[in-house]
Structure 1
Amino acid sequence: MQYFGLVLAFSWLAFVQGKVPPPSPDGKYTIEAPGIKASFIPYSAAITNLFVPDHNGTLRDLVLGYDTADEYATDKIHPNYGAIPGRYANRIANATYELDGVRYYTQRNNAPNSTMHSGTNGWSYRVWNVTDVCHDSITFTLRDEPFSSEGMPGLVLGRVTYSVKPNTWIISIEAEATTHRTPLMLTNHAYWQLDAFANPYNDTVLNHTFSMPFSKRQLAYDSVAEVNGTILHIPQHSINDFWSSPKHVGANASAKGWIGNCGPGFGGYDCAVTIDHDHLNPKNPQPYSQPVATLRSDWSGIQWDMYSNQAGFAFTSCGFFPKDILPVKKTQGGPGSANDGFVPTYGCLAVEPQDWTSGIDYPEWGREPYQIYGPENGVYRNEVVYKFSAS
């Protein structure tokens, strides 16, 4: 822990002494390696662009976002494009939790009752420090003061390093609770579109093929889309079965139960699942050697395989996205593209590797060692690797 704090201190010193170069005129920092180029901004430590070649060698920008850095901070919808949400990602049921005999109350920013991504002053609303950058890596750091997000005690020092290797994107997220035990659960919130909205026949992800071979269980939601403490086994060939074999995201779009599947009022997926494998250990800083999820588009031929050291992930097929509101980036066609310049409903898939959603609300799950950190129990780590291919 002392080493981690020193690293942050020296990184901050390098920043204030002017050793970190400024961003490009559009406010972005770009890193690259053979077969991959990615751009990032300090606001929410977000990835803004990720280019890989499709099966014809055409570069495609695979993540949703905005054309300029300023738009990330000004968009009132705030979909967390490419962001690092925290210090506790995803939902806190009923906007409250108990820790060491003390009841804490968090911001009710997710109607009607829960907290989403630690509220409207969470880490995805902050401007991070750029503390190190080179041709293939960039590091952001954040000092999160006690209760700067409602209901979150103690000082936390956060760091995320993005790096690229040939055809590979690596995410390393670390955080240290230095003064008080506090919830910590972080992730990256990229929204994926492997056709980059260039497919003239389908501008959604319903034709993308998805699989999660180690995820046979999901966390159940109640009538207002809060995790209710029940863990369900996913039946083979059911709507949520992506474990028995890969299938299109929209394979069950006409099935009974598609509407309201993981939340009231919209169709598709907004689910949280476990990753069940004997060798998976969230305390191990290295991702498991087999991919825990795979996403592929037959049109572009692009595929990613995701490796993670986490025990679960949340994923959404963007069924709640408002139509003709969120613009498509110019790197994805913009106005006049296959989708008339706006992100359609079901236009993306977000996959968020993390521990079990709302785990602090259900101590019977036994997730405290992986979600509660303090001065006595080390550094939180979330390691994710995406490997890209095209055929």
Structure 2
Amino acid sequence: MKLRIFLPIALLGLTALHANAAAPAAITTTTFGRLPDGQEATLYSLVNAHGIRADITDYGAIIVRLFTPDRAGRLDDVVLGYNSLEDYVKATPYFGAIVGRYGNRIANGKFSLDGRTYSLATNNAPADIPCHLHGGKVGFDKVLWSATPAIAGNVPSLRLRYRSANGEEGYPGNLEVTVTYTLGNDNTLRIDYLATTDEATPVNLTQHSYFNLKGEGRGDILGHVLTIKAAHTTSVNAGLIPTGTLAPVADTPFDFTTPHAIGERIDQAGDEQLKFGGGYDHNWVLDSQNGALALAATVFEPLSGRTLEVWTEEPGLQFYSGNFLDSSKVGKSGRPYHYRNGFCLETQHYPDSPNQPTFPSTILRPGKEYRTSTLYKFGTR
């Protein structure tokens, strides 16, 4: 096993660190395993001045571990995932990954652009209605990225680059993608996305971490209290494809404009949208639609006292309540991930936008930049 330390600090290891003592930021690298084609994956451990740690691998740009403090200062890993590269390669519901070229769904795996129809893989079929999901059979979550770690101003970061070739998974154009993770000393994990293309193509990147603010492997997330800054969702059909209608959340189980426990209304009888998603698996139309960085959602976990704020420049937020977790996947703690043991808050443009002319466009053209940022801010109360 290789081990490289970009800036050593005392007692840095693979166990949780105490969050109170200030120290120099650090990045260590270790071998994470080999892919079936022989390529080696690396795990980068970013530690900020307060001991908050994010372990990120260049395979899939995956956040493998994320240690944040509870109200007593105890650090716990708050994201779902695996200890080994082999498990990520074998079977994963996108734990912690960057997904693309198009995050979320495209109806029937088809879209038309500039007079030409493109066919993509149909790798998902809710209610036996086929669609293209999260970039296809080999999306950005299943490739090896080129990684560059750095520490600037006592703040660690990891820049990851990937070139998606013309025709990959059916998409047009050579797409150059850069994703940069920065672990700030205000306990914020910042994600900056940048992409350019030589041919018009849809682009919709997002981060697909499953959170449990009680700690990974510590039960369901139904007691987490959620607020979403959104008065509408994009209603879906049985295949979880948007109908084109922006549905008001008022007087529905989708109204998180004021705080509600995730489990409070998740199984409310008679709600067709909950039935289609098996719970929450929908896109919220964020109140902020001007491209400026704005607060999209807040989460509070009463037992640990941990809080999470999601800030983004994106117009949409996919809230997914872990409805398809089925105990078949065993996580880092050695415990299986049961039904609703994690939740996702994926900042994004809306699903199926290439086929929905009234939705904000996801088409990137040559000479333009896809540039957007999302922040996950951790705290306690």
Please tell me the TM-score bracket, short chain as reference: 0.7 to 0.9
Quick one: which amino acid aligns to residue 118 of structure 2?
Answer: Y
Alignment correspondent of 1:252: 265
Alignment CA distance shift 1:252-1:310 (3 Å): same
Aligned equivalents of 2:98, 2:266: Cα separation in 1: 30
Aligned equivalents of 2:343, 2:217: Cα separation in 1: 16
Aligned equivalents of 1:65, 1:253: Cα separation in 2: 24
Quick one: which amino acid aligns to residue 250 of structure 1?
Answer: G
Does 1:130 find its partner at 2:147?
yes
Q: Which runs of 5+ in 2 are unaligned?
A: 1-26, 33-41
Runs of 4+ in 1 over 3 A off after TM superposition: 132-135, 260-264
State the 1:148 CA deviation: 1.1
Does 1:121 find its partner at 2:138?
yes
Does 1:231 find its partner at 2:222?
no
- Does the 8 A contact of 1:206 with 1:346 survive in 2? yes
Which of 290, 297, 300 lines up with 1:293 in the alignment? 297
What SS class does the counterpart of residue 71 from structure 1 fall into?
Answer: helix
Quick one: which amino acid aligns to residue 141 of structure 1?
Answer: R
Quick one: which amino acid aligns to residue 237 of structure 2?
Answer: D
Does 1:57 find its partner at 2:90?
no
What SS class does the counterpart of residue 191 from structure 1 fall into?
Answer: coil
Q: After the TM superposition, which of the residue ranges 130-139 and 49-58 deviates more from structure 2?
A: 130-139
Alignment correspondent of 2:332: 329
User: Which residues of 2 match residues 193-204 of structure 1 at below 5 A?
Assistant: 193-197=212-216, 203-204=219-220
- Does the 8 A contact of 1:160 with 1:171 survive in 2? yes
Alignment correspondent of 2:8: none
What SS class does the counterpart of residue 23 from structure 1 fall into?
Answer: strand
Q: Deviations over 1:120-165 (max 9, x none)?
A: 1211111111134446110100011001112x10000000000111
Aligned equivalents of 1:373, 1:40: Cα separation in 2: 27
Identity rate, percent: 28
What SS class does the counterpart of residue 168 from structure 2 fall into?
Answer: coil
Which of 47, 55, 69 lines up with 1:39 in the alignment? 55
Aligned residues: CA RMSD: 1.8
Does 1:346 find its partner at 2:343?
no
State the 1:198 CA deviation: 6.5
- Does the 8 A contact of 1:28 with 1:69 survive in 2? no
Alignment correspondent of 1:174: 194
State the 1:69 CA deviation: 2.9
Aligned equivalents of 2:274, 2:192: Cα separation in 1: 29
Alignment correspondent of 1:209: 225
- Please identify which structure carries the higher strand content: 2
Bigger relative contact order (CA 8 A; separation at least 6): 1
Does 1:261 find its partner at 2:273?
yes
State the 1:317 CA deviation: 0.2
Quick one: which amino acid aligns to residue 281 of structure 1?
Answer: N
Aligned equivalents of 2:349, 2:330: Cα separation in 1: 31
Quick one: which amino acid aligns to residue 255 of structure 1?
Answer: Q
- Does the 8 A contact of 1:64 with 1:191 survive in 2? yes
Alignment correspondent of 1:358: 352
Aligned equivalents of 2:161, 2:217: Cα separation in 1: 35
Aligned length: 338
Aligned equivalents of 1:172, 1:263: Cα separation in 2: 34
Aligned equivalents of 2:52, 2:165: Cα separation in 1: 36
Aligned equivalents of 2:270, 2:66: Cα separation in 1: 34
Quick one: which amino acid aligns to residue 284 of structure 2?
Answer: V
Quick one: which amino acid aligns to residue 166 of structure 2?
Answer: P
Quick one: which amino acid aligns to residue 98 of structure 1?
Answer: S
Aligned equivalents of 1:308, 1:198: Cα separation in 2: 27
What SS class does the counterpart of residue 191 from structure 2 fall into?
Answer: strand
What SS class does the counterpart of residue 30 from structure 2 fall into?
Answer: coil
State the 1:40 CA deviation: 0.4
Please give the TM-score of this superposition, normalised by the length of structure 2: 0.84
Q: Which runs of 5+ in 1 are unaligned?
A: 1-20, 335-340
Aligned equivalents of 2:65, 2:165: Cα separation in 1: 30
What SS class does the counterpart of residue 60 from structure 2 fall into?
Answer: coil
Alignment correspondent of 1:218: 233
Alignment correspondent of 1:109: 123
Which of 364, 372, 378 lines up with 2:363 in the alignment? 372
Q: After the TM superposition, which of the residue ranges 42-51 and 26-35 deviates more from structure 2?
A: 26-35
